[in-house]
Structure 1
C-alpha cells in the first residue's frame, strides 16, 4: 500500500553508522510567514497541514539538491555517491500564499505549500521538470529489525521527451521513455541511478538500494494476474511437457508457471523427468488478461529458448547456462481475450521463468518515475544544462571528477580466460611484438593462485615461478600487466582470517556451507568494504603481494558482489551484509563504489605520482572518481549480444562514467563454437571481427573470453583476410591515438563523454532518439557496427544538421537521410562529420612510442570546425598540477584556413617543436582512411599561433 506523505504517521528514521548530513543543524532564519527556514546553502520548507518538510540546497547555479522527509527530520546518513551536497551559489527566496521558490541565476525551484511538489524552471521561467502533485510516496519497511521506507517520486513528462542513462542494461533499450528498468547490480547489468532527459536536465537519485525506473512494481508470476489455459483450453495452467534427449515424452502435466528462475527453484525439478542436462521442456497454452492495454512480459532464461506469442516467434536465443538474463516482451491484449503462448527450452542445467505485469493506469508508464526499496528520504539532485554535456558535467560536480587513466589504458589489451602459466603470458606479449601488432596490456584472469587459496593473492609457484621477473620482462617490451583480484576469500587464508577477526567478512555464505565451482568446491566469503579499516586492510593485502612486484592495474571482478551465482534476490541481500553501515538490502547497489574507493585511495597513498587504473564488473554513481572503468560482464558470443552492447555502452556513458568496454567476441561460447565445423568456424571468426571493429571504437579496446583463444593470431592465420582485417583495426586504433587520448583528456578537463549517444550531438533531430545501433565516438566519428552474420551492407541514418564523409572512401553524404552503407567483411561503416579535425599519428607498437613523431591533421571540409589536441605525460598525475599541453585547432571553411592556436598548459608531454601534416578531405576528393588524402601542407609548430591556408 502506498501512503501519501500528508497521511503518513510520524516515524523515527534509522541511522546507518555514518555522520549525519552536515546541513541538518544549519541556523534558521524564518521568513515572515514561517514556511521557509533559510540555510547557508538553501532552505527548508514547512508545508501546510502536513508533518513533511522539503529541503532545497543550491549546489551551484544549475543544480538543486532536493530532500523530502515525512517527519521534518533531516538527520540523514551521509551520501556515499555525492561529494558535494550543497554549495555557495547565490540565491534568493520568494514566498507566496501557495509556494516558496528558491532562485539562482540559472534556474528556480518552487515548492508547493499544499502538497510539497517541486517544480523547476529555467531563468526565463520556462518549465523544465515538475513533480506530480501526488507523486511522492513513502511506505514504511522494516529491514533486519530497523525502520526504513520504500520511496517513490513521480514526475510529469511530456509525450516528446526521451530518457537515457541509468547505467548499463542488456535489453537493447536506448530511449527509456515508457520502459521499465530495474537497477540491481548483476553480472552484465549495472545500476546507476542517474537519468538524463532530451529536455537537457538530469535527475541523480541518491539511494543505494534496488531502484526501479518506470513501473515501481516487481514483475509477477503469470498466474498472479493472468488467467491460464492448458493446451486443450482448460483453465488452471499451462501444459508442460518434459522430453528426454531422444525426443521421447517423459512427463506431461499442468503447471502454473515455468518456475526455474533461481537455485532454490531448480531444486523442485520433477523426479519423473530426465536429467536437467539433456532433453527439452515445452510449455503451451493460452493467457487471458483481466484488463486491457499493453501487457509486459519478462523472460528470464539461459541455454537455448524460444517463445511464441499469438503464433509469432518473439524470442530465439542462447545464453550460457550459469548466467541467465532478462528479455522484455510487450503484447497488446484486451480484457477477456485469449492469446496463445508457447515456450521451448533446452535446460542444460540452466534457468528459466516468464513474468508479467498488467498495464499501468492512464499515462503513468510514460512518466519519469523512480522508486527505491529501502531509504530514509526522497533524495535527488536536479541538474540543468544547455545541453547533455553540461548535464553530465553537473553529475560529476556532484559525484566527483573523472580521474584520468594512464595513456596505455587506451591502447589494445589482450586477455584470456585464462593464462594458466607465466610462460603463456610472456609468449603472448612476445608474439604480438614479433608480428608487429600493437599491444599495451596483457591481463591475467583468476586462478593464478594455488587452487585452495583464493584470496591469498599468492601466485602458484609451480605455474608462476618468478612473478616479479615476469612483470619485469613485460615492462622491458613496453607491456603492462593487469591482474584479477576478487573481494572473495577462502576461510583458510590468512587474509580471510585477518578481515574476519575484525568483523569485516560476510559470513552467511560460509554459514550456509556454500561451496564454489573450483576443484572439489571450497567454502568462501566476500569482505565488507563499508568500513574504512576494512578497505585499508584489503588494499594492504593486495599491495604487499601484488602491487609490490610491479602490477600495473587491478581487475576487480565480481564487484556486484556475486557472492554465489543464481541466488534469489532476497537471499542475495542477506549474503551482502550486514555491512558496517547497515543491512545489505539498504546498500545493494553501492558495493562497487566502496570497493573501488579503497583500492584507488590505497594506490594514491602508496604509488606516488603513478596513475591508478581499475577495471570492474559493476559500477555505481561516483565511481568515475576512483579511476575505475567498467566492462559489460560475461556476455555471450552471439550476434544479439553484440547488438545489445551498443545501447548498453551509450547509456552507461550517458550515466556519467566515461570509460567502458566489453569482452570482444563475447565471453561465453555457444557449444557449437567449442569444436566448430567449417561453417561454425567461419561464423565464429566473422563474429569476432565485427566485435573487434566495434571494440576499436569503444572507449577501451579489450579482447577477452573463453576458448577458442582470442589473440589475433589465434583467431586467424597471419596473411588471411580475417587476420589482416583484425590487424588493420588494431593499427588504426593506434594511428588515431592523438584523437583518442584527447577524448580521454577531455573526460577530466571538460567533463567529456567518449561514447556518445546521437542525442548528445544532434538534439534537434528527433529521428536519432531511438536508434540503438549507432553512436558518436567523440565529436568526429559516427560508428555503425555490423551486428548480423554475413551482412555486407547495413542501413545507416546520418543525422541532420551535418554533412558526412565515409572514412574509408571519402564519399560525401548530406545528413538527414538513411543510406545503405557498404560493409564488406574487412570494414565497418564509419563516417566523419564535415568540419571535423582529426589528429592522427604514425604507426606505433605501444602508446608511448615515438612521442615526437609528426601528427597528421585530417580536416574534413564543408563546415567550420574546432578541436584541441591534448597531450600530457601519460602515466602521472602531473595534469592535476597543470603539466600538460593543449593546442587549439579551428577551421574556417569559407576562408579555407586552419588555425593552430597558442599552446595552453606548460607543454609537458609534448615536444616543444613538432611537425604537423595537414590533409584536407573535400567532397569528390578520393581519400583512403585519411592516409593518402593529398594536398599536404607541412607546418612546424613551436607553441605560437599559426594560420595555414588550405
Structure 2
C-alpha cells in the first residue's frame, strides 16, 4: 500500500518494489521476485496488484532501491529495473549493466475502448528498437515462423493456433505479456483487406459464368457467403463421389482474381491469405503460395513481397472454392527500427502488465516462466508410448479389436483413443454411450486393460441444451446463451442447437466436473481428451462474432477481453477434479488449446486439425518448437495430418505412393516428438492397415514403434526433467547453440532432449536432405555410425523408411529392451549407448511410472559420466528408491567411435555388467 499520495514525477517505495508517477500522471509499478523477475504495471489508476489467472506467483523479492537524479532503480543480484520519472521509460539490465530490455516510451499506449458498455483499455508497448536479437515462443502458430524478429504474430486462439504470450530472447530474458485479449506481436495494427480494382472471373467447369470488378478478395466468414453471385453457385462436391446429393455430376467452381498493386512504400510488404480448398497465388507470374485446407477449418497462410515504391506488381489468385472461404489482407512495410523490435499490442485490458525474466539461457527463461505460472507435473510413463486414434471408432468392438490387432502382430502400443460421437446422435454433452454401438463401455475399458493397454476418451465443453447435463448447467446460468440465440446448428445429423459451458466461475467448473465424475470416471478411463477448447462452437464465424458469443455469463466480462483464456480454467477444473477423485494417479489431459499456465493443469497440447500435406508437415516443426519455448513441455500432432484431400481419401492408385510416403515421414517425426500419436480422417491410420500391401512401409513403421520403446529410459528421463528441472524435450537448436547464429532460423531440425538431433524429411520423393551440424561439438550420423565435425552442412541419406538422426559426441543414451508396452519389464536390462569424442554425463531417472510417488520423493537417479580421454564410463551410486525398484540391473555398454558402421541404435554388441547400485567404473 502507498504510504502517501504520490505526486507527478515522484516515486514511492512499496512492498517488494516501487511506484513511479510520471509527469503525465501515469503510474508505473515495478515489483520484484526473488529469482530476479520484475513485474511492470502501467495505468493511470493501477488495478489490483494480485496476479492474474495466468500467473500464480506473488512478488517476493527484496530489491535494493536507489533514486539517482530522475531515475528510480530496483536492483537484485540477477537484474535491475530502472524507471525514468518523467515519462516512465523502463530499462532492464543484467548484473553487468548490459541492457536486456529497453522501452521506447513514446510508443506506449493506453487508449480507452468501450466493449459492450464497459470501459477497457487497448494497450501497446515497444522495446529494443532496431534489435538483432532472436525471438521465440508465443505458443503454436502454423506459418513456418521460427525466429520472430521481423515477423508479425497475432495471438488469437484457433483450432490450429495456440496463444501463449511468452517471448524468449537470445539477449538473455523472457517476457510474459499478461493480457488475455487478442494481442499482436510485431506490427501493432491489424492487417487490412487489400483493396484494388480486382478483375474477378467466376467459372463453372470450363464455362466463365461471370466477370466483374471487385474491390477486395473477401469471402472470409459464414456471413460473407450471402454475397456469392447467383450465377456462380454450384452444389458442394461430395468428398467421395464428386456428385451432389441428387447423384448428379457437379461442375467444379473456380474463381480467378487479377489485379495490379502499386505500393506507395518501398520494402517488404506482408500478406495474409485466409483460405480453404485449393488456392494458388502468383506475383508477376511467379507462384508465391499454393495451399489446400478443409472448408470447415480455413486459416491464414503468410507470404511477403519485396516491392519498390511506385512500381506495380501483378497479382493473380486462382481458387477452387467448393463453397469455401477466402480473404486477402496486407500490411505496408514498417520502418526498420519498428520492424525489428519487441512490440506487444492488445485490444483490451485494464493496464499494461508484463513480467521480465532475466535468463542467461533459454532454459532459465522457461524455468522463470514456470515459476510464475506453475510447474509442469509429471505425466505417466505410459503417455510416452504409442497412441493410436482414428476419427473415429464407431463401436466398442472396434476399439478392443485394434488393440488386439497390434498385440497379435507384436507392434508396440500403449493407448487407444475413443474420439467424439460415442453418444446418441441427439445427446452431445450427456457423457453417455450409444447402447447400440457401445453396449458396455466399462467392459470395453477392461478388455483394453486386459491387453495391457490404456484408453483415452474425448470429452467436450459443448452441450445440447436439452440434455440432462445441458439443462443442469443452464439452470445455474453456466451455459453461453448467445450461440443459442444466434440459432447456430452443428454438423451432426439434421444439425442441432448447441453451446458451451462457461468455466470462469469455480461453481461452473465444479458442476462440469461432477457431471464427468458421475458418468465417465467410474468407467476407468486413463486419459481425457478435451477438444475444441478455444472455444470453437463454429469454425466459420468471424472473430468479432466469436468474441461476442463468448462474453462470460458467469463473471460478466466481455469475450473480447478474455478471448484467449478459456482453455486455462477449463483444463484446471478437470485437472483438480481428477486429483481429488484419484489422489494417487497422475492425471493426463490432452487439450487442443492452451494459454499461459496450461502446463500446470497436467495438460499436453496438440496442433489441431491440420491438413495432410507436405507443407503442413513442415509447418508442424516450427509450431512445436516455438510452443516448447513458450513453456509447454508435452506436445503432439496428428501423425499423417488430420484432414485429407480427396485424392488420398479416395485411395486413388495414382496418389497412393505419395500418401504412404507422407504418412511414413510424418510418423518418423512423431517418433521423435514428446508424445507419439497417430490420428486422422480416412484413410485409417493403424500401422497394419495404412501399410497394407507395402511390406517395406510396414517394416519402416514398425522400426519406429520399436525404437521409441527402446528409447523410453532416455525419453522418460527427459519427461522427469520437465518437472524437476523445468527442462524442455523438444528443443530448437538455438536453445543449445545460441552462439552459432546459423541455427537461429533453422525450422526443420531440432534436438530431442540434449543428445539426439532429428531432421525430418518434408518433401515427396526426397531421398536425402541438407542438415546443418551446429558448431561447438562433433556429431555421429545415427544411420551410418559415421563421426562428423560440427559447424558444417552435410547431405544426409534419407531412404523412405528412415529419417536422418544425429547424436552429439559425448552423449550417453540409455535404452531398454524390446517390449510391447511401456509397463512390460520397465526394470529390465539396460543398454547404455556412449558416443566418443567428448566428455559426457547423463542422470537416469526411474520411478513407479503412474502414481504420485514422484511427488513424495519415491524415485531413483543414477548418475553416469563418460571420461573421453580415459575411455572410462562411470556409474555413480544409485540415489533414492521406489516400490518395485530392481536392486540389480544387467547393463550393456556400447561404445560408438566410428569403428562399427551401421545404425547405432540397432547395435547389440557391447560389454555387459551387473549394477547393484554401488559406484562402478568401466574401461572401454
TM range (shorter): over 0.9
Alignment of 1:138-537 (within 5 A): 138-157=110-129, 159-223=131-195, 228=196, 237-245=197-205, 247-275=206-234, 277=236, 278-537=252-511
Q: Does the CA-based 8 Å contact 1:632-1:661 persist in structure 2? A: yes
SS of the residue corresponding to residue 678 of structure 1 reads coil
**Runs of 5+ unmatched residues, structure 1:** 1-25, 229-236
- Aligned mate of 1:791, from 766, 781, 785: 766
Residue 276 (structure 1) shift: 6.3
Find out whether 1:648 has 2:623 as its counterpart: yes
Change (3 A) 1:151 1:32: closer
Residue 908 (structure 1) shift: 4.6
- Aligned mate of 1:79, from 52, 64, 69: 52
Residue 331 (structure 1) shift: 1.3
> Moved runs in structure 1, 4+ residues, more than 6 A?
29-34
Which residue of structure 1 lines up, in the alignment, with residue 64 of structure 2? 92
SS of the residue corresponding to residue 374 of structure 1 reads coil
Q: Does the CA-based 8 Å contact 1:800-1:817 persist in structure 2? A: yes
Which residue of structure 2 lines up, in the alignment, with residue 831 of structure 1? 806
- Aligned mate of 2:715, from 740, 755, 759: 740
Q: Deviations over 1:308-340 (max 9, x none)?
A: 012110011211121111111111223322110
Q: Does the CA-based 8 Å contact 2:129-2:337 persist in structure 1? A: no
Give me the whole-angstrom Cα distance separating, in 1, the residues matched to 2:336 and 2:921. 61
Find out whether 1:136 has 2:96 as its counterpart: no
SS of the residue corresponding to residue 31 of structure 2 reads strand
Alignment of 1:567-606 (within 5 A): 567-581=541-555, 582-606=557-581
Which residue of structure 2 lines up, in the alignment, with residue 667 of structure 1? 642
Residue 579 (structure 1) shift: 4.4
Give me the whole-angstrom Cα distance separating, in 2, the residues matched to 1:45 and 1:868. 48
Normalization by structure 2: what TM-score?
0.97
Q: Does the CA-based 8 Å contact 1:884-1:909 persist in structure 2? A: no
Residue 70 (structure 1) shift: 2.1
Which residue of structure 2 lines up, in the alignment, with residue 539 of structure 1? 513
Which residue of structure 2 lines up, in the alignment, with residue 234 of structure 1? none
Q: Does the CA-based 8 Å contact 1:65-1:85 persist in structure 2? A: no
Q: Deviations over 1:526-547 (max 9, x none)?
A: 0000000000111111111111
Q: Does the CA-based 8 Å contact 1:172-1:644 persist in structure 2? A: yes
Q: Does the CA-based 8 Å contact 2:47-2:350 persist in structure 1? A: no
Q: Deviations over 1:198-240 (max 9, x none)?
A: 11210000111111100011111112xxxx3xxxxxxxx1100
Which residue of structure 1 lines up, in the alignment, with residue 728 of structure 2? 753
Normalization by structure 1: what TM-score?
0.94
Q: Deviations over 1:803-847 (max 9, x none)?
A: 110112211110110011000011100000001000000001111
Residue 85 (structure 1) shift: 3.4
Change (3 A) 1:433 1:36: same
Moved more, 768-777 or 266-275: 266-275
Give me the whole-angstrom Cα distance separating, in 2, the residues matched to 1:135 and 1:243. 48
Give me the whole-angstrom Cα distance separating, in 1, the residues matched to 2:296 and 2:612. 14
Find out whether 1:105 has 2:65 as its counterpart: no
Q: Does the CA-based 8 Å contact 1:528-1:577 persist in structure 2? A: no
Give me the whole-angstrom Cα distance separating, in 2, the residues matched to 1:672 and 1:940. 55
Give me the whole-angstrom Cα distance separating, in 2, the residues matched to 1:202 and 1:221. 33
Q: Does the CA-based 8 Å contact 1:858-1:921 persist in structure 2? A: yes
Q: Deviations over 1:746-805 (max 9, x none)?
A: 000110100000000101100000011100000011100000001100000011111110
Find out whether 1:702 has 2:677 as its counterpart: yes
Change (3 A) 1:608 1:393: same
Which residue of structure 2 lines up, in the alignment, with residue 778 of structure 1? 753
- Aligned mate of 1:609, from 584, 587, 590: 584
Which residue of structure 1 lines up, in the alignment, with residue 791 of structure 2? 816
Change (3 A) 1:54 1:713: same
SS of the residue corresponding to residue 930 of structure 1 reads helix
Which residue of structure 2 lines up, in the alignment, with residue 70 of structure 1? 44
Give me the whole-angstrom Cα distance separating, in 2, the residues matched to 1:37 and 1:718. 76
Q: Does the CA-based 8 Å contact 2:130-2:339 persist in structure 1? A: no
SS of the residue corresponding to residue 691 of structure 1 reads helix
Find out whether 1:619 has 2:590 as its counterpart: no
Which residue of structure 2 lines up, in the alignment, with residue 639 of structure 1? 614
Give me the whole-angstrom Cα distance separating, in 2, the residues matched to 1:78 and 1:918. 50
Q: Does the CA-based 8 Å contact 2:896-2:904 persist in structure 1? A: no
Give me the whole-angstrom Cα distance separating, in 1, the residues matched to 2:610 and 2:472. 35
Which residue of structure 2 lines up, in the alignment, with residue 6 of structure 1? none
Which residue of structure 2 lines up, in the alignment, with residue 36 of structure 1? 11
SS of the residue corresponding to residue 134 of structure 1 reads helix
Residue 50 (structure 1) shift: 2.2
Change (3 A) 1:65 1:415: same
Change (3 A) 1:579 1:392: farther
- Aligned mate of 1:803, from 778, 784, 787: 778
**Runs of 5+ unmatched residues, structure 2:** 237-251
Give me the whole-angstrom Cα distance separating, in 2, the residues matched to 1:209 and 1:825. 44
SS of the residue corresponding to residue 844 of structure 2 reads strand
Give me the whole-angstrom Cα distance separating, in 2, the residues matched to 1:478 and 1:117. 60
Residue 719 (structure 1) shift: 7.1
Give me the whole-angstrom Cα distance separating, in 2, the residues matched to 1:945 and 1:27. 58
Q: Does the CA-based 8 Å contact 1:920-1:933 persist in structure 2? A: no
Q: Does the CA-based 8 Å contact 1:926-1:933 persist in structure 2? A: no
Q: Deviations over 1:538-589 (max 9, x none)?
A: 1111111111110111100000000111100110001112343311111100
